[in-house]
């Protein structure tokens, strides 16, 4: 594969062979970046590592991480230095206590759009039926979304049991009167089952209605439209019933966005230079950009390092806005 480079060692070797090298590391020092165990976080951590090393002279290293233990370690031990993609809604109390206690600093939005769960339909269906803009609109048309086991009913494809999104979709199905509208909720059984149902329908240009979310590689490859919930988000009602499996009277509600931020330790924010903090404050991308990158990574069996390099080679007009002119030139010369 043309762009594929398997490791950080290969990154460095490529730069040396090209006659370029990072600026002296003492200008920034050692930096540890948490590489979380999902694709988009691995990609962003790898991108930060490359830019901090070649643009700002840091001795940057990735360390394995996951949301709960990494946030906890940053608060208690001030290590690692950076979470590039922190899903802060999962641990709001830990984040806030870390900020209030002078242990953590939020530098900016990793995902400018936030992450969003919802009910999606293919764009070709949305264009063929411009009247379908909301969940309620879709539920008026069971004939457009025939269920695989009983085509006389419409289908809403759900995720596997155990997912929070599956629970919420089940409650929203009740809230919007899915049964009364002659729809059935389809248990796809697994992440692969949900993905497979969407991909099959899309490649055959058939209707599909169901749970999905962004950013994801699937939505980078298949153009889907999220339906409007038709109501604003009601946080109290969401907590009371939309997220409680045993609640019998859920109300229509809008799925809130997940805030995805870049977080650093307070110790790192004090010892690093201002240019590095400015980069971490500016560095943010939207879901459309990330979806396409994730789709490219899937198609090319690419690592986070591969994806970072591909992004840098193909999106200079975006990443150069995050960097100082000097750092931009150093990164450009390293590629």
Question: Residue 225's closest CA among 103, 315, 298, 123?
Answer: 123
Burial of 230 (0-12, 13-18, 19+ CB in 10 A): middle
Question: Which segments of the chain have a pLDDT < 50?
Answer: 1-26
Give the angle subtended at the CA of 52 by the CAs of 96 and 334, to the nearest 5°: 155
Residue 110 shares a structural domain with residue 128: no
Q: Is residue 61 part of a domain?
A: yes
Q: Is residue 3 part of a domain?
A: no
Residue 238 shares a structural domain with residue 120: yes
- CA–CA distance, 322 with 84 (Å, rounded to integer): 14
- CA–CA distance, 231 with 134 (Å, rounded to integer): 10
What does the pLDDT read at residue 8? 38
CATH code, 47: 3.40.190.10
Residue 236 shares a structural domain with residue 273: no
Domain, as residue range, for 235 = 116-242
| Sign of the four-CA dihedral 314, 317, 323, 328 | positive
What does the pLDDT read at residue 90? 75
Last residue of a domain, one of 180, 211, 242: 242
pLDDT in tens, 227-254: 999 999 999 999 999 999 999 999 999 9
How many domains would you assign to the chain? 2
Residue 38 shares a structural domain with residue 14: yes
Residue 132 shares a structural domain with residue 236: yes
Measured in Å, how far apart are the chain's first and last C-alpha atoms? Answer: 16
- CA–CA distance, 129 with 227 (Å, rounded to integer): 13
3-state DSSP call for residue 116? strand
Characterize 279-313 residue by residue with b for buried, 16 or more Cβ atoms within 10 angstroms of its Cβ, and e for exposed: bbeebbbebebbbbbbbbbbeeebbbbbbbbbbbe
CATH code, 216: 3.40.190.100
Question: Residue 122's closest CA among 190, 210, 10, 50?
Answer: 210
Give 80's contacts (C-beta < 8 A, 6+ positions apart): 32, 33, 34, 63, 65, 70, 73, 74, 265
Residue whose pair of structure tokens reads 């903090």 in the numeric block: 277
Residue 91: CB atoms within 10 A of its CB come to 18
Q: Is residue 1 part of a domain?
A: no
Residue 104 shares a structural domain with residue 150: no
Residue 175 shares a structural domain with residue 202: yes
pLDDT in tens, 6-42: 333 333 433 333 333 344 444 689 999 999 988 999 9
pLDDT in tens, 266-275: 999 999 999 9
- CA–CA distance, 114 with 260 (Å, rounded to integer): 6
3-state DSSP call for residue 264? strand
What does the pLDDT read at residue 317? 97
3-state DSSP call for residue 66? coil
Last residue of a domain, one of 210, 242, 274: 242
Q: Which stretch of DSSP H or E encloses residue 49?
A: helix 39-56
Structure tokens at 229: 């919930």
pTM over cut 0.85: no
What does the pLDDT read at residue 162? 87
| Sign of the four-CA dihedral 13, 15, 17, 22 | negative
- CA–CA distance, 277 with 261 (Å, rounded to integer): 14
């Amino acid at each position: 594969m043309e762009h594929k480079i398997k490791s950080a060692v290969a990154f460095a070797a490529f730069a040396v062979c090209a006659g370029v090298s990072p600026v002296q590391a003492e200008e920034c020092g050692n930096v540890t970046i948490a590489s979380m165990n999902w694709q988009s976080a691995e990609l962003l951590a790898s991108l930060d590592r490359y830019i901090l090393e070649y643009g700002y002279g840091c001795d940057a290293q990735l360390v394995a991480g996951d949301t709960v233990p990494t946030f906890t370690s940053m608060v208690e031990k001030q290590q690692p230095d950076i979470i590039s993609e922190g899903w802060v809604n999962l641990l709001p109390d830990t984040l806030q206590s870390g900020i209030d206690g002078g242990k953590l600093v939020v530098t900016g939005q990793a995902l400018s759009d936030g992450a969003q769960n919802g009910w999606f339909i293919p764009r070709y269906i949305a264009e063929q039926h411009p009247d379908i803009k909301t969940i309620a609109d879709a539920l008026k048309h069971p004939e457009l979304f025939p269920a695989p086991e009983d085509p006389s009913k419409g289908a809403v494809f759900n995720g596997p049991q155990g997912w929070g999104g599956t629970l919420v979709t089940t409650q929203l199905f009740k809230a919007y009167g899915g049964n009364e509208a002659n729809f059935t909720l389809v248990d796809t059984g697994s992440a692969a089952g949900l993905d497979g149902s969407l991909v099959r329908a899309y490649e055959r240009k058939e209707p599909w209605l169901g749970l999905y979310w962004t950013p994801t590689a699937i939505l980078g490859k298949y153009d889907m439209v999220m339906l409007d919930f038709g109501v604003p988000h009601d946080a109290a009602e969401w907590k009371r019933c939309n997220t409680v499996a045993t609640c019998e009277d859920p109300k229509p509600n809008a799925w809130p966005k997940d805030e995805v931020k870049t977080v650093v330790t307070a110790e790192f924010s004090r010892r690093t230079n201002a240019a590095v903090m400015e980069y971490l404050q500016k560095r943010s991308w939207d879901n459309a950009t990330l979806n396409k990158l994730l789709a490219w990574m899937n198609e090319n069996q690419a690592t986070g390092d591969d994806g970072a390099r591909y992004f840098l080679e193909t999106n200079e007009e975006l990443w150069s806005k995050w960097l100082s002119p000097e750092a931009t030139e150093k990164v450009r010369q390293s590629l």
